[in-house]
Amino acid sequence: QVQLVESGGGLVLPGGSLRLCCAASGSIYNIIRMSWYRQAPGKERELVATIPGSGSTVYADSVVGRFTISRDNAKNTVYLQMNSLKPEDTAVYYCNYVVRGAIYWGQGTQVTISS
């Protein structure tokens, strides 16, 4: 059974940085796309960044130039480097893997930007 486990969330000051990590446990193959989503209180879950097996990464307009998504295919792991964090980045961040025939979600990790 595949599980996605996120780590790296926390509380940081505005302008700070965090690096989120999502690792897959269990056998997982043919990952088509890895993504990060976030959901702030009272808001819909939104796509933050996605990285396909081939092709270009895609970012939400609000994070362009500040966030970088990357993946380690050998480890089935996806990362999200977040710089210049703002209070409006506060949310629960979820990783998402799309494979042939299935979609997997992590349990979420809280990111709080506050002074």
For 57-68, the pLDDT digits (tens) are: 999 999 999 999
pLDDT recorded at residue 29: 82
Q: Which 8-state DSSP code applies to residue 15?
A: T
Give the pLDDT of residue 54.
Answer: 78
> pLDDT by residue (tens digit) across 67-82?
999 999 889 999 999 9
pLDDT at 112: 98
pLDDT at 101 over 90: no
36-39 LR contacts (CB < 8 Å, sep 24+)? 36/69, 36/78, 36/80, 36/93, 36/94, 36/95, 36/96, 37/93, 37/94, 37/95, 37/96, 38/89, 38/91, 38/92, 38/93, 38/94, 38/111, 39/91, 39/92, 39/94, 39/108
Q: What is the mean pLDDT of the chain?
A: 95
Task: Give CA–CA dist 82/102, Å, rounded.
Answer: 28
- The mean per-residue pLDDT over the stretch 30-53 comes to 95
And the tokens for 93? 């961040």
49-53, 65-69, 92-96 — which is least confidently predicted? 49-53
**pLDDT value for 12:** 98
Q: What is the pLDDT of residue 99?
A: 92
User: What b/e string do you get for 54-82 counting C-beta neighbours within 10 Å, with b at 16 or more?
Assistant: eeeeebeeebeeebbbebeeeebbbbbeb
